[in-house]
Amino acid sequence: MDSESILRAIRRTKLDAEFDVRIIEDHSSSLSIERGEFVGGQTNVGKEANIRCLYKERSSSVHLSINSIEDLKLGIIRSYKLAKTLGSEDGQSKFSMQKHINKPNPFSKKIDTVKNYDVLSMMLDAQKEASNLEHIYSVNIFSGYSHTNLCAANSNGINGDWKGSSAFLRAEVIAKEGAEQTTGSKGAESIDPYGIDFDDVVIKASNVASRMLGAKSAPTFKGDLLLSPEVSNLIFGEFVSAMNGEDILKKRSFLINKKDQVVASKLIKLREENWLKRSPYNRQFDDELIPTSSKDLVSNGLLRTYLHNIYSAEKTGEIPTGNGFFGLDGSSIDTTNIVLKAGNVKTEDLISRIKKGIYMLETGDSPNMATGDLSAMVMNGYYIENGEIKYPVKETMVGVNLLDLMKNVSVLGSEYVGLDGIFTPALIVNNVQVSGK
Amino acid sequence: MLNEELVKFFASNVKSDFYGDIRLNESEGTRFVVENSKVRKVSQTSDSGFGLRVMKNGVWGFASSSELSKKSIKTALDSAYSYVNSKIKSKIRFEINPEMNVANVKVPWQKDIRDIELSKKLALVKAVDEAARGKETVSTLSAYSDVVIHWIQGSTLGNIVSFYESYPNLGVSSFIKDSSGIQSIRKTLGGNCGFEIFERGAAEKLGKTVLEEAKNLIGAKVVKGGKYDVVLDPSMTGVYTHEAFGHATEADAILAGASVLEGKLGKVVGKDTVTIIDDPTMPGARGSFKFDQEGTNAKKRVLVENGLLTNYLNTLETSNRLKLEPNGAARSMDYSCRPIARMSNTFIKPGDFKDDIYEGIKEGIAFYGFQYGYVDPGSGKFMFKSQYGRMIRNGKLAEFIRDAALTGSTLEILNRIDAIGKDFSLDGGTCGKEGQWVPVTSGGPSIRVRQVVVGGQ
């Protein structure tokens, strides 16, 4: 199925409403290694459609698994009936009318010829090397790859096709000494498994696990925070989420009324790039068929834009920014690639600049999006004093408002990670509350 | 419509030296989102497909497809065999011995959500949104969702079960504003049940409760970080029980060497006043089910009895490898996911304390309502954030606080529980593991825990 066949299906219904249809075909494979043993693999094949209908400014959506053009037609009729009887009165007034330029897509030609044996061998080799390290108790590795075909069209005659591929690796390592047990986990992504350094990821996870042995609670104090690229990734992901135009509209974001205002240190140069080499997150049009774009999000410390789908753009009087992506709850707002420009200071030099602080390697927290307040557990991390790592920490939390955190970024590092389409370096934040013993 | 014919076709096509099982799944759902009294989103979902597994010599091959046909089953079988027949072999060995259940369970709930008119569902969510609005609120966000799932599952050994699950759910958030910004309270009501759960004014009561609790946050300050004695309400107790402890009892984590409870079966892990239960047989509860996804009858599992670790949550594979009894804990999100060890309704058994639970606390914090959290079952480290809190001063509840979060280690906290309340309630939620989201509940009584690290500013 391609976008032309969707266009024809929409036109043939001859219903007095507008439709916007997106079909995704996905083929994925994954493999698991448990403590050095191959325990199984998985293949998933799925095809699903998302159909949106606008009937006299009332909207509905239908999401269904489909196997034929007939299924699609039935879905279109279902969305029509739903919009006509109980459609939302607070939807967008139109679908995309913007033509986009078809660019070469990020599809890896290698993805169709990936051999599970090759991937498994890379996983096992990495596992063996890590298992030989001191204190390493168990190494569990998961890897997978997929290719996706997306085709979309709407009643305005706008259509597009996109083909993408992706691969991931995740290593979870346990270190043990006596009764104490610690964990280290690392992940990596690319457009095929051959773009991932399996050994590097698994060894890094193992090093984190073994170095966390002997952790204790840090003191309670106000000091500096060194964020690893992974923690920086998580924090900047949340910061970009706060630019969501729907949350701005509904007054549920701490970035409301902050456009063109100072929201960060002048060091922060944050951009959306819709095209990066070997990124699985490249797209030339969003899920609403609006062209995506590369743009400044924060520069010179100022917030340059909010992120809009058609709905939030209409309601706020702005223009769609090509950020309409469907989430679990239907039409939502998301991004392609987010890039925070790195600095040139190595991590060991970042550590040496901290008088008293915490080096945060891992957390899982997200802030209160309405206030920006963040209370985050140091899942893995170190206490630093006078430029030296003193000990690994546990039962330690940091508390900071995200706007204060952004404004207090004082140094950007050169160590870099790209996960979930967000590319961030390590960095230092001054004046953060640490809660421990 | 699903039928057993495809299960029989699958069983007859699996090679004789393999174990195999298949899950067929068909679901229909509806969702309404109301914001500030306006209908924001109206959607319906319809999904179907199958997932099959084959196993030989300790290796599983799994394959799924959204196309329910004999041709797709044959293609999927070939994919699944390719993993098992890999040149790379496993030293792990186990047998799969399912309960030989043959059952066709009819819809068990009183008011089938498929028989309720869409307009009635929409009226319900509008009513709850209205109830959550007051002069203090800047906005409200309410959602009604339901899904009915029909499962048929069977194996090459001849067991086959057909059953339904039904998950109506209503959630409402009320947002208020004060000088520190916008705060919100969210609550949900749902189960594995029929539309009867929303009767007798339950929905409107939910909206009013959210509004009342949101008002408490006006002027609330962020707590000063440090170590405190704390009292967790049933919602927060449930989160500790589920996240920090329950995940560590999932036997796949035990086998992977990724749980702090590995090797602790039969040993003391907490105070002798603590009993922890996971029970999928509670009628109507969101985490309940009749059969797990390997066709094993749901069973009540006592995980900790008077401080002693007594059980893990097992699938057919983990129980065989650990030489334990299967206890019906294999769950999968849908046909596209393999069954893995999961919780159901997980809680601490109530004790005797009432308001005296605050006695002896000079300066402490009471936590109310779960907001979010996470745990690393391998190290036992966890962090949970409540919707709000109250300072405890000299044994009495004092001012409200916002954005209160706590952190700790699973076993250390279990040993610091020194008072268990008489109260009891369960909260519905959706639990994530390995990308699979399944409905659960967690709860228990209020508990008092000594010297916990609390995050603040």
User: Could you tell me the residue ranges of all domains in chain B?
Assistant: 5-124+142-172, 221-455
Structural domain for A385, as ranges: 217-437
Alpha carbons B150 and B145: distance in angstroms, whole number: 17
Alpha carbons B234 and B422: distance in angstroms, whole number: 10
pLDDT at A409 over 80: yes
- Residue that is last in its domain, among A211, A244, A272: A211
Alpha carbons B156 and B163: distance in angstroms, whole number: 19
Q: How many residues in chain B? A: 457
B11 φ, ψ (degrees, to nearest 5):
-60, -35
Query: Does A207 share its domain with A222?
Result: no
Query: Does A286 share its domain with A423?
Result: yes
The rounded percent of chain A whose pLDDT value lies above 70 is 98
> What was the pLDDT predicted at B407?
87
**A60: which residues sit within 8 A by CB, 6+ positions away?**
A52, A53, A79, A82, A83, A86, A87, A88, B42, B43, B44
Closest CB to A62 among B36, B43, B184? B43
Q: How many domains does chain A have?
A: 2
Write out the two tokens for A343: 């600095």
Alpha carbons B212 and B215: distance in angstroms, whole number: 5
- Residue that is last in its domain, among A176, A211, A246: A211
> What was the pLDDT predicted at A57?
86
The rounded percent of chain B whose pLDDT value lies above 70 is 100
What pLDDT band is residue B102 in, cutting at 50, 70 and 90? very high
Write out the two tokens for A178: 């006596």
pLDDT tens, A81-91?
999 999 998 98
Whether B60 has its CB under 8 Å from any CB of chain A: the answer is yes
Closest CB to A435 among B138, B379, B456? B456
**In the predicted model, what is the mean pLDDT of residues B18-42?**
96
Instruction: With beta carbons less than 8 A apart as the criterion, state whether B181 and B159 touch.
Output: no
pLDDT at B186 over 90: yes
Mutate to test the interface with A, among B381, B384, B430, B433 (most CBs of A within 10 A): B381
pLDDT tens, A258-271?
999 999 999 999 99
Query: Does A144 share its domain with A273?
Result: no
Instruction: With beta carbons less than 8 A apart as the criterion, state whether A84 and B42 touch.
Output: no
pLDDT at A356 over 70: yes
Q: Interior CA angle at B106 toward B102 and B110, to 5°?
A: 150
Instruction: With beta carbons less than 8 A apart as the criterion, state whether A360 and A231 touch.
Output: yes
**B284: which residues sit within 8 A by CB, 6+ positions away?**
B109, B191, B192, B193, B197
Alpha carbons B87 and B448: distance in angstroms, whole number: 54
Least confident of A191-195, A263-267, B327-331: A191-195
Alpha carbons A217 and A194: distance in angstroms, whole number: 40
* Inter-CA distances, B273 with B230, B308, B313, B351, Å: 18, 10, 22, 8
> What was the pLDDT predicted at A103?
64
Chain B residues close to A121, C-beta within 8 Å: 88
Q: Where are the alpha helices (DSSP H) in B138-193?
A: none
Angle between helices B118-131 and B202-215 (to 10 degrees): 30
**In the predicted model, what is the mean pLDDT of residues B69-74?**
97
Q: How far apart are the first and last CA of chain B?
A: 56
Minimum CA–CA partner of A217 in chain B: B453
What ipTM was predicted for this assembly? Answer: 0.92
Query: Does A73 share its domain with A161?
Result: yes
Query: Does A370 share its domain with A279?
Result: yes
Query: Does A78 share its domain with A20?
Result: yes
> What was the pLDDT predicted at A135?
96
Least confident of B341-355, B364-378, B417-431: B364-378
> What was the pLDDT predicted at A252?
87
DSSP secondary structure code for residue B313 in this structure: B
Query: Does A200 share its domain with A222?
Result: no
B376–A379 C-beta distance less than 8 A: yes
Mutate to test the interface with B, among A20, A39, A221 (most CBs of B within 10 A): A39
Alpha carbons B302 and B143: distance in angstroms, whole number: 34
Q: How high does pLDDT run on average in chain B? A: 94
What is the nearest CA distance from B208 to chain A, expressed in angstroms? 21
> What was the pLDDT predicted at A142?
98
Instruction: With beta carbons less than 8 A apart as the criterion, state whether A263 and A403 touch.
Output: yes
Report B:87-146 residues touching A (Cβ under 8 A).
87-92, 118-119, 122, 138-139, 141
pLDDT tens, A301-340?
999 999 999 999 999 999 999 999 987 667 789 999 999 9
Closest CA to B174 of B165, B166, B164, B182: B182
What pLDDT band is residue A101 in, cutting at 50, 70 and 90? low
- Residue that is last in its domain, among A155, A181, A211: A211
Instruction: With beta carbons less than 8 A apart as the criterion, state whether B248 and A183 touch.
Output: no
> What was the pLDDT predicted at B142?
97
Minimum CA–CA partner of A52 in chain B: B43
Query: Does A243 share its domain with A120?
Result: no
Q: How high does pLDDT run on average in chain A? A: 94
Alpha carbons A41 and B220: distance in angstroms, whole number: 51
> What was the pLDDT predicted at B84?
96
**In the predicted model, what is the mean pLDDT of residues B35-41?**
93
Query: Does A239 share its domain with A388?
Result: yes
DSSP characters over B428-452: EEEEEETTEEEEEEEEE--EEEEEE
Report B:379-408 residues touching A (Cβ under 8 A).
379-383, 385, 402-405, 407-408
pLDDT at A411 over 70: yes
Query: Does A262 share its domain with A382?
Result: yes
pLDDT tens, A359-406?
999 998 788 888 898 888 999 999 999 999 999 999 899 989 999 999
Closest CA to A415 of A354, A360, A346: A346
User: Which letter, b or e, does each residue of A308-326 get, where b requires 16 or more Cβ atoms within 10 Å of its Cβ?
Assistant: bbbbbbbbeebebbbbbbb
What is the architecture, at CATH level 2, of domain B5-124+142-172? Answer: 2-Layer Sandwich (3.30)
What is the nearest CA distance from A101 to chain B, expressed in angstroms? 30
Taking CB atoms and an 8 Å cut-off, how many pairs form between chains A and B? 261
Instruction: With beta carbons less than 8 A apart as the criterion, state whether A42 and A27 touch.
Output: no
The domain that contains A74 carries what CATH number? Answer: 3.30.2290.10
Q: How far apart are the first and last CA of chain A?
A: 60
Alpha carbons B268 and B274: distance in angstroms, whole number: 11
> What was the pLDDT predicted at A328?
66
Query: Does A206 share its domain with A123?
Result: yes
